[in-house]
Structure 1
Amino acid sequence: MIIERSTEWKEGFIERLENREAWDNWTLYTMSYDVVKMNLITDFQGLQSPKYLPTLTPLAHQLEVAETVIERMNGKAILADEVGLGKTIEAGLILKEYLIRGLVKKALILVPASLTNQWIEELNQKFHIPAMQYRKNYDLNHCTIVVMSIDMAKRSPHKEKIYEQDYDLIIIDEAHKLKNHKTKNYEFVQNLKKKFCLLLTATPIQNNVFELFYLISLLKPGHLGNYESFQASFSASKHDVEQEEYLKELVNQVMVRNRRQDTGIEWTNRHVEIIPIDFTKEEKEVYDMISELPTVSPVFSDAFSMITLQREMCSSKEATCLTLTNMREKCIKPEDSSYIDEIIHKAMALEINSKAEKAYEIVSRANGKVIIFTEYRASQTYLQWYLHSKGITSVLFNGKLNKNKREWMKQLFKEKAQVLIATESGSEGINLQFCYHVINYDLPWNPMKLEQRIGRVHRLGQENDVHIYNLAIQNTIEDHILDLLYVKIGVFEKVVGELDDILSAFKKTI
């Protein structure tokens, strides 16, 4: 290949010089000058990103969160606003700001699989950030802003490919699912190379205070000491801590949390009540027979299985009999299987489900659409049949539905059905502001799951007061669940801050 030097520049230069012509187009020069001047960032204080977002008007608290994380927390923070206050918007603002300032060139966003489309849509449409969803054949060296399911990311060969990358910013949605250092999710995130890190969760404490310790240790190792010193310094146990004011001060150095009442936005009210229910004599008899299982045979001494059966009996005979049938197949002695057969026979003969009747009563007098949350798919199917027999239309929502079916069920609920019957998967990643009645048909062990459920409807855009009905069978395992829920709410409020009502309008003193 022959390379020749061009002399055109010299000829043009001499011509302009001798004829005193303009060196270039003055209008183009001034326009270029203005563009460069506009893009200069002369002060690190304050946000530059809002002026580059013409289709987005962030709320005051969202802008304040972004400023706080960037200016005071050095890009390492837990975004813990209450459900529905826009943590995704806050994370998007922080990412956009770092991109504009040139501090982030490569970012990884890890989310539950059901939320990948939502994240990509928001980043592209609201923030004009060219985020892309990871595919198996993608070369991560050429992907700058990637949204990925955390379940996919932690598996080989994706995990190894991700570990090879140097990310400037990692964002983790639903960060409470990392739980602690023993989970694969936590281990995976801990080993990522990252300069900045955002953990998004409205519920940084789910079941015990050590979950918050591990989240903070991901962001700032040693900020709360190691496990042993943290436990000793705050006399920490699962559901209690001492010196909570000092601990809260340390936590607030890495966590930003806004409550609805702090935002200056006018919110509709939340009406919450616990509705006690009595079993019929026949239902109680079956429940007592289940409770007696461990005394009948050592085969049934597994406490977890017994508690599960008791909870299922408080939900539906269908859920109960499904588990009992599975247990029966594992029985070796004839007397063990015959006792289970007797329970199944008595359960299937029940003609009344007291809790389902109460749920129907609430639905029939509700002036609007209703979400019913249950823990069991068998109960979900039963409730749909039961409500149908009463002339009430409903749709199901559970983890078996793919993304398209989830959207279809949501649309059917909005336009056709009166009731959405959801398992726990329905309390995440779906916004239902057009509904304002929630029945917690089965109570979870975790109070934050209640907050997540309620947050599906009590969020920005809700125009009606929200009504929450917590059903509980008296003199059963559900009494114990209620007591434990209040204990866990207590430790959350000690360390993180006040919660909106999720069980009843009156706080129970333990």
Structure 2
Amino acid sequence: MIEFQESNQRLWLPWQRLRQVRGVQHAFNLGRFEKESGEERQRLRLLSWAIQLWNENTGALATFDVDPLPHQIHLVHHIIASGHYNWLIADDVGLGKTIEVGLLLHAAMARNEANRVLIITPAGLTRQWKEELFAKFGFEGFRIYGDDFHINDPRDWKKEDYVIGSMDRMKQGDNLDTLLRADDWDLVIVDEAHRLSRRQYGNKLDASQRYAMLHKLRRRTQSILLLTATPHQGKQDSFSGLLELLSPERKSEIRTLALNPEIIGDMVIRNYKADVTDMDGNFLFHGKTVRQIEVPLSQEAVEFDKQLREYLRKGYSAQADTGKTTGRAIGFVMTVYRKLAASSVAAIHTALQRRLERLRGQESQSFNSLDDERYQGEQEEADIQKTQASPFFPGEEGILQGLIEKAASLEANDTKLHAFMDGLVETVIKENPKEKILVFTEYRSTQQWIKAALDDRFGPGSCVLIHGGMDMQERRDAIASFEEEDGAQFLVSTEAGGEGINLQHRCHIMVNYDLPWNPMRLVQRVGRLYRYGQQKRVVVFNVHQSDSADEQVLNILYDRLESVAQDMASVQQYEFNDAMKEDVLGELADLVDIEGVLAEAANNKLERTSERINEALERARSAASAQKELFEHAASFDSAEVAGELEITLDHLQAFVEGMGNIIGYQILEKTHKGLVWQIRLSDRAMDELGVSRTRYTLTFDRILAAKKPEWLPMNMDNWLFKSLLKRARQYDFGGVTVFGKEYHSQAIVAAVARWQNDRGRRARQELAIVALENGATTLNPVWFGHWLIERKTPCDAVETEKAERKAILDQAGSRVEQFIAQQSTQALLPDQMQWISAGWSAEPAGAQ
């Protein structure tokens, strides 16, 4: 029985097919040092191991179209180092959760730990996840359950190893039953995990269907990864429920979380915009400026607002006088009408017309219903058209007729639209005629109104739309047009663009034509531009008519929200910056229960409503403070975490490829694109060793160029040439096992792979361990070693060595690596054996350069 340490396999093999290979320890003990470029081969051998293990522990050398950021690499490293994948990733909006998942999947696949993966998302995000995993990482195997394939027999699940599914489809009885009869999954990933709600009433727990589905599915996987930027939401019971999904065996600890909050450090990772940096240590976010565009109401608009509020009061009174179901429906319509009026005169005009047509039994065009929580405004527009065909209260039809006439008059001279077009858009365009502008609104009717005005002023094709009624291809085409140099200049989006659409590369100006009643939606809107990759300061314009009653309430809400966020951010222990305020603002917006406050505003004076807003914000402040205290125990970006490890850079990759050319037999003809693109020519020997028939190839070390030029060979772990070179350099026959060297900065170095296993005997982690020895002292992964790997080595003469001294060095190195394995061991990471891969004796005294 033979153990293959690299692949973690044990196989019974015929002894006649085996040959004995003496290991590093044996050769070093006997003083059998290699000649003929031994030190250069050692450098390439160790580089090969370093590159492979760095990728295995971070996924950073995968194929994707952006360079990973430090917090993303370290997040994956932290999860891999923990020995399990049961984590809640709670990074701020805009920090790249798709990239983090892609990196983690790549690392897990490299470790043979992600052979069956299930990704569960909201319905509107299934296609996006599939496309982004393919576009960014080249993962071709993911298919969408219910769209790309169906399961009629549970045995058919054997054909599907990489699945994306809607949580609302999978929670349904038949679908769930079939899913639970599939083979176990290696990893289950849940996006928007805060939608898995579970509430506690006294000693009773009430779980949603989504939560119940995950609770049952938890038994069919060893690992579950939860993703959400808003994991707590001020609801301790739901948050505890998520933690119990991660670690069911720690239920009793989780239910006493207030007494032991430090346990979330084993389960939750949270990175903040205020903390993350690029590779050079520069903060990623350049801040944002918010400007208010005040639009005063005309006397005619004031009269319309009064009459509309009178209509709403009659509706709310009718709600109180009717049955529970009917009353709730009337109240819903009245609330939506208020939102529509705050959005645009066109939106309320259209809605009132449709209400009158329904009362008169006339058919009207309507929007399709959208079963997606993200498209709240469009869903409301669709739902109010299904109301009862009888009057809500006596005389409703006559009041509607008067309101419609006044709305038509206002629409003909829309002061809000004029302020938007003449005061805002024209000013921006005058400053920069090619400036791109993103416009947000909650409602489709307002969206059409804005588009018509922009097309009329700037010509057809100047404006494109995104809304919930479009399929993914239509949305993709709209974004492509907006991002083209000479494409559409304006993009008007409903809340369909509030999640999952990233426009930071071509645009930094955003207009909120209306303010959403849910403040969290405003944070999500801004997140489309205020995210990694934005090179300019984001400018946000809020357009509102502050004289109307509901606009006054919204204005108070957002002013107070901004003020509280500023105060809370200013008392943090760090120096204040805009990104920190964004962190706090996002937390507050998620916690404020403003719907109830605004629902009462129709019947209360502004002073009372203002008091209610203050009360709501005070509760949110208290909840945010408690939440922040709790999340201080969560794991987060810490550059010191990998300080003792060798981080692989572009220089290492290029040094490896260049060095292997001298040994394998290929010539670098030319380096272009600032040294990121190489032209190489293979010798006959290299062609034979690599098994190819072509002599010339173009290599690239730039991810963006590789994405644009698929015929070029990207130098990463998904490329056949790069993988062939790595494999060749690790083979025993390649050499570099025991050598003399001139530049060790120490008496000797010994290299090993330190390994850990889980409680099922499967490999959980492995790290490169370089031990430098000098005067009886050992140093693990010395700081000079990363640079040593980059420079090509030249042969040197042998020196006299004592066998006893060599043995003592190996013993010391072995003890140091065993100590390292023990220090890194946890309940999830159990010590495994080490593997010696190289050893070298210095041909010069330490420091003699």
Whichever residue aligns with residue 464 of structure 2, its letter is V
1:346 aligns with 2:406: yes
Whichever residue aligns with residue 312 of structure 1, its letter is L
**Within 5 A, what are the aligned runs for 1:63-462?**
63-72=73-82, 74-124=84-134, 127=137, 129-134=139-144, 135-137=148-150, 139-155=156-172, 157-165=174-182, 166-180=184-198, 183-193=208-218, 194-204=221-231, 212-220=239-247, 222=251, 253-265=266-278, 266-296=284-314, 298-299=317-318, 302-328=330-356, 329=359, 330-332=389-391, 335-350=395-410, 351-360=412-421, 361-366=423-428, 367=432, 368-391=435-458, 393-415=462-484, 416-433=487-504, 434-462=506-534
In structure 1, list runs of 5 or more residues that go unmatched.
1-12, 18-22, 28-36, 234-245
Which string of whole-angstrom CA distances, capped at 9 and with x for unpartnered residues, describes residues 255-305 of structure 1? 322223322224333212344432222222222222222544633654443
Q: CA deviation at 1:399?
A: 0.6
Q: CA deviation at 1:214?
A: 4.8
Instruction: Report percent identity of matched pairs.
Output: 29
Deviating more after overlay: 266-275 vs 248-257: 248-257
Whichever residue aligns with residue 313 of structure 1, its letter is A
Q: Give the 3 Å change call, closer, same or farther, for CA 453–72 of structure 1 in structure 2.
A: same
Whichever residue aligns with residue 449 of structure 1, its letter is R
3-state SS in 1 of match to 2:406: helix
Which string of whole-angstrom CA distances, capped at 9 and with x for unpartnered residues, describes residues 3-42 of structure 1? xxxxxxxxxx9xxx9xxxxx68999xxxxxxxxx99999x
Q: Give the 3 Å change call, closer, same or farther, for CA 274–154 of structure 1 in structure 2.
A: farther
Aligned equivalents of 1:248, 1:483: Cα separation in 2: 35
Which string of whole-angstrom CA distances, capped at 9 and with x for unpartnered residues, describes residues 88-131 of structure 1? 12122323333333444321012345544443344456556553
Greater C-alpha radius of gyration:
2
**Within 5 A, what are the aligned runs for 1:22-101?**
47-50=56-59, 53=62, 57-72=67-82, 74-101=84-111
In 1, are the aligned partners of 2:88 and 2:228 still within 8 Å (CA)?
A: yes
Whichever residue aligns with residue 406 of structure 2, its letter is K
Q: CA deviation at 1:457?
A: 1.7
In 2, are the aligned partners of 1:78 and 1:256 still within 8 Å (CA)?
A: yes
* Alignment TM-score, normalising by the size of structure 2: 0.48
In 2, are the aligned partners of 1:110 and 1:150 still within 8 Å (CA)?
A: yes
Aligned equivalents of 1:149, 1:196: Cα separation in 2: 19
In structure 2, list runs of 5 or more residues that go unmatched.
1-13, 22-45, 200-206, 279-283, 321-329, 360-388, 573-578, 590-613, 619-849
3-state SS in 1 of match to 2:222: strand
* Alignment TM-score, normalising by the size of structure 1: 0.76
Q: CA deviation at 1:47?
A: 4.8
Q: How many residues align?
A: 462
Aligned equivalents of 1:308, 1:208: Cα separation in 2: 27
Q: Give the 3 Å change call, closer, same or farther, for CA 210–282 of structure 1 in structure 2.
A: farther
In 2, are the aligned partners of 1:272 and 1:501 still within 8 Å (CA)?
A: no
Q: CA deviation at 1:217?
A: 4.7
In 2, are the aligned partners of 1:331 and 1:337 still within 8 Å (CA)?
A: no
Tell me the residue number matched to 1:3: none
In 2, are the aligned partners of 1:287 and 1:310 still within 8 Å (CA)?
A: no
3-state SS in 2 of match to 1:371: strand
Q: Give the 3 Å change call, closer, same or farther, for CA 501–154 of structure 1 in structure 2.
A: closer
Whichever residue aligns with residue 343 of structure 1, its letter is L
Aligned equivalents of 2:303, 2:264: Cα separation in 1: 49
In 2, are the aligned partners of 1:374 and 1:380 still within 8 Å (CA)?
A: yes
Q: CA deviation at 1:381?
A: 0.8
Q: Give the 3 Å change call, closer, same or farther, for CA 498–180 of structure 1 in structure 2.
A: farther
Deviating more after overlay: 198-207 vs 316-325: 198-207
In 2, are the aligned partners of 1:372 and 1:420 still within 8 Å (CA)?
A: yes
Tell me the residue number matched to 1:33: none
- Structural RMSD (CA): 4.2
**Within 5 A, what are the aligned runs for 1:474-485?**
474-475=546-547, 476-484=549-557
Aligned equivalents of 2:216, 2:555: Cα separation in 1: 38
Q: Give the 3 Å change call, closer, same or farther, for CA 455–491 of structure 1 in structure 2.
A: closer
In 1, are the aligned partners of 2:56 and 2:107 still within 8 Å (CA)?
A: yes
3-state SS in 1 of match to 2:274: helix
In 1, are the aligned partners of 2:55 and 2:107 still within 8 Å (CA)?
A: no
Q: CA deviation at 1:87?
A: 1.0
3-state SS in 2 of match to 1:167: coil
Q: Give the 3 Å change call, closer, same or farther, for CA 474–125 of structure 1 in structure 2.
A: closer
Deviating more after overlay: 63-72 vs 380-389: 63-72
Aligned equivalents of 2:77, 2:134: Cα separation in 1: 22
3-state SS in 1 of match to 2:511: strand
Q: Which has the higher contact order (CA 8 A, sep 6+)?
A: 2
Q: CA deviation at 1:325?
A: 4.0
